Amino acid sequence: MSRLFAVSVTVLTLILGALSLEVSHAAEPQRYAFSVLASSSQAESQLIVRVVQPAGEDCPSLNTTVAGAPVNVGLTTRQSPSNTGASFASVTVCEIAAPSNASPFSSITYKDGTVASVPTAIQPVTSLALIGDTGCRLVHNIQQECDSNRKWPLRVFAQQIAKAAPQAVVHLGDYIYNEWPCEDDKICGDVPRVTEGEPFLDSAASFEYSFLAPFAPVFSVSPILPLRGNQEICNVGGISYFYILDPQFGTSQTCDPIGRKAPEPILQPYAVDLTTDQAKTLRLVATDSAYANDQVVDSWSTKMRPKFKKAQRLAKATPQPGNAWLLTHRPIFAVRSTIQCGNVRCAPFSRDPNISMWVSADTAAASYGTLKPYSAIISGHVHLTQAVQVTGAPAQIVLGGGGTALDPTSGYKKPEFGALATGRGQPMQSKFKPYPTVRQWTTKVVFSYAMAKPQQLTWEFQAKTVKGKTFAKCLLKGSKIKC
């Protein structure tokens, strides 16, 4: 497919998206075609094309050109979840590895003749979009206004990102937050009801509402690297993640219940290589931290540690010239507020002086001694925008303001002691020497995403608001960041 045609399809997508910003969630599932970035072991092209469509439809075909020759090949059905009742019975997921040397954009042709555009080749990077924690939040003490683009701006962000047309989008996890029934139809009446499929809380309908529908403008423009967040552990939203997003073949039943018990898998790390327009390699190393504990070092750190060691080996193998970023949902160096807020009021987070205000203890322990190959750690989880520099460690960038209810706007204080130390300065565990405390940092609590652009010696990060304005600009040079 020509670039001109692909751009035309993109413009049409944006126009249709703009017209449908306030349209209610349809009862019948819609069709979505997109590409996810994957390791070369899964697809030589590092792209897997996925289609989510109503159940009962035959899988569509991918129409592209390879080395100038037309190629038409059918997608295959991704195995559906089991033991989930009717929660995922309304959709079929189809997939195929994008062929190597395919045209940058190709078409998905459905059996009724409808056509959609998808990326099928990774282009030299002039910009990346990064966003995290995007789902509309319905929990016992927070009822977010999901029917408002101002109070849940994911649709707006998706249109802005699509207009910017980055060569890839990194989603840092947490796509689905509706863990609790909507209590006020005036603010969240369109949200699908919480599934009754214990021991999980998600469904095809809730994932469509929370991510697929609002993020659809991006799908025809940029491939997505989808991280797993703590909202995608198996007893919350993990079935949706593995069935629809996980960038591997054969993993769709990873979170399927065993009786009334949910599995607790930790994913293997993987790497994706992007070439920048500066002819350098950026290796993105995705590492799972979904089950980690934020406040203490517990057994999860031991379980995760082999994964971080494997990730370290992947980072060390980054092609030269190039650099590596560690992508993990829970940050290693991030500072939370000393207060926490629900819908009604705010209160101190903890009166226990032993509690550290760093996030997350397990991730810091699991990754201990493995961070040297990275120039940056990119995470979400904390619902704000934050850049943190700790002496001797890579820059930490937190981008968790992608749409879910934000963290408190105040209460951020420089910790007296570093990560892996208690609030009294004692090591959380004797085998981990605490890090130095933060050397410099920037925190802004606002709905946001970031655009990252490679330069000759640096990466420039621009954090964007709902209105598309840049409110923070940071330069990453080596492993140091300056905002």
Per residue in 444-454, pLDDT (tens digit) is 999 999 999 99
**Spatial separation of the C-alpha atoms in residues 33 and 374, rounded to whole Å:** 33
Give tens-digit pLDDT for 38-75: 999 999 999 999 999 999 999 999 999 998 899 999 99
Higher pLDDT: 28 or 450? It is 450
344 confidence band (pLDDT: 50, 70, 90): low
Share of the chain above pLDDT 90, in %: 86
Give tens-digit pLDDT for 97-136: 999 999 999 999 999 999 999 999 999 999 999 999 999 9
Q: Which range is least confidently modeled, 155-159, 178-182, 265-269, 477-481?
A: 178-182
- Report whether pLDDT(352) > 70: yes
Stretch 373-385: mean pLDDT? 98
DSSP state for residue 402 in the 8-state scheme: S
- Report whether pLDDT(33) > 50: yes
Stretch 163-175: mean pLDDT? 98
Pairing of strands 346-348, 334-335: unpaired
207 within domain boundaries? yes
pTM, entire model: 0.93
- Report whether pLDDT(16) > 50: no
5 confidence band (pLDDT: 50, 70, 90): very low
Q: Tell me, what's the pLDDT at 19? A: 33
Q: Which range is least confidently modeled, 23-37, 80-94, 185-199?
A: 23-37
DSSP state for residue 215 in the 8-state scheme: H
238 within domain boundaries? yes
Query: From residue 216, how far is each of 156, 232, 400 by CA, in Å?
Result: 11, 20, 20
What is the rounded average pLDDT for all residues in the chain? 92
- Report whether pLDDT(472) > 90: yes
Stretch 361-383: mean pLDDT? 98
Residue 193 backbone dihedrals phi, psi, to 5 degrees: -65, 150
- Report whether pLDDT(148) > 80: yes
Stretch 145-169: mean pLDDT? 97
Stretch 144-159: mean pLDDT? 96
Q: Tell me, what's the pLDDT at 379? A: 98
**Cβ-contact 471, 463 below 8 angstroms:** yes
Stretch 339-368: mean pLDDT? 84
- Report whether pLDDT(7) > 50: no
Higher pLDDT: 346 or 130? It is 130
Element (H, E) at 39: none
212 within domain boundaries? yes
404 confidence band (pLDDT: 50, 70, 90): very high
Angle at 383 between CA 385 and CA 16, to 5 degrees: 85
Pairing of strands 115-119, 105-109: antiparallel
Q: Tell me, what's the pLDDT at 2? A: 39
425 within domain boundaries? no
- Report whether pLDDT(422) > 60: yes
DSSP state for residue 406 in the 8-state scheme: P
Q: Tell me, what's the pLDDT at 341? A: 79
242 within domain boundaries? yes
383 confidence band (pLDDT: 50, 70, 90): very high
How many CA atoms are closer than 13 Å to the CA of 227, on its beta-carbon side?
34
Q: Tell me, what's the pLDDT at 353? A: 79
Stretch 382-404: mean pLDDT? 98
1 within domain boundaries? yes
286 within domain boundaries? no
Give tens-digit pLDDT for 212-255: 999 999 999 999 999 999 999 999 999 999 999 999 999 999 99
**Spatial separation of the C-alpha atoms in residues 124 and 132, rounded to whole Å:** 23
Stretch 256-280: mean pLDDT? 96
Range of the domain at 6: 1-122+174-226+229-257
Q: Tell me, what's the pLDDT at 193? A: 83
Share of the chain above pLDDT 70, in %: 93
Q: Which range is least confidently modeled, 14-28, 169-183, 447-461?
A: 14-28
Q: How many folded domains does the chain comprise?
A: 1
Torsion angle of the four alpha carbons 112, 115, 120, 125, in this order, in degrees rounded to the nearest 10: -160
- Report whether pLDDT(20) > 60: no
Stretch 69-82: mean pLDDT? 97
DSSP state for residue 245 in the 8-state scheme: I
**Spatial separation of the C-alpha atoms in residues 37 and 105, rounded to whole Å:** 14
Stretch 363-391: mean pLDDT? 98
